[in-house]
Amino acid sequence: MNEHRDPYSDSFLLETDAEIIEPQPSKWRAFFREMAETLLLAVVLFVIINSLTARVRVDGPSMEPSYYHNNRVVVLKVAYLFGDIQRGDVIVFPAPPNPEEDYIKRVIGLPGDEVMVADGKVYVNGQDLDEPYINAPPINSMRAVTVPEGMVFVMGDNRNVSSDSRSWGPLPIDDIIGKAVFVYWPLDRIGLVQHFELAGGG
């Protein structure tokens, strides 16, 4: 330790080799701040994802062989803000027989289309559809129905066990929750939802 006299004072100043230690922020304080920031980011992302998408469980066999009971599907709620509904789209909506449940079906007819089922085939505007995704040809026939404006005609891919527009009529477009885009469970079926382009004239 050295000492010297301050030329402007009668007091002595002490010099040491030790550095002056600046106060450091608490490590725990920094840890909890990072945790809070991470949780806030997670909440924000959760809210954003939930506002844009929904997760739906397939209930029953009506969409086999495309989708099976207990498959989990991601639904894009905003899909039709950026594009029009197309024949062949797979959509999710509250079940008309019981709005507490959600149905997943395929769009067959658009507003103004004439839909008919005869001889094991589905016809849209007089043209029979090429449908590689169905489980089996429909057994029952259906007279021609014109889809009203603001509505779509939907069917399940497993035609002979599906509750769809053939029994409860066309679906209001405003009731559509969104477009199915991704299967995330079970892992052996994970992948994008396939949307077929269906010709229908008109």
Q: pLDDT, tens digit, for every residue of 99-127?
A: 999 999 999 999 999 999 999 999 999 99
Q: Tokens at residue 79, please? A: 């899909």
Q: Is 62 a catalytic residue?
A: yes
Q: What is the mean pLDDT of residues 116-141?
A: 95
How many Å apart are CA 101 and CA 36, to the nearest integer?
A: 37
Q: Which has the closest alpha carbon to 102: 149, 132, 63, 133?
A: 63
Which residue among 62, 66, 162, 165 is the active-site one? 62
Which residue among 66, 105, 162, 165 is the active-site one? 105
For the beta carbon of residue 197, count every other beta carbon within 10 angstroms.
10
Q: How many CA atoms lie within 13 A of 153 on its CB side?
A: 24
Q: Which has the closest alpha carbon to 106: 150, 167, 171?
A: 171
Residue 11's φ and ψ, nearest 5 degrees, are -85, 160
Q: What is the pLDDT of residue 171?
A: 98
What's the chain's average pLDDT? 86
Model-wide pTM > 0.85: no
Q: Is 9 a catalytic residue?
A: no
Q: Tokens at residue 49, please? A: 């994802």
Q: What is the pLDDT of residue 101?
A: 93
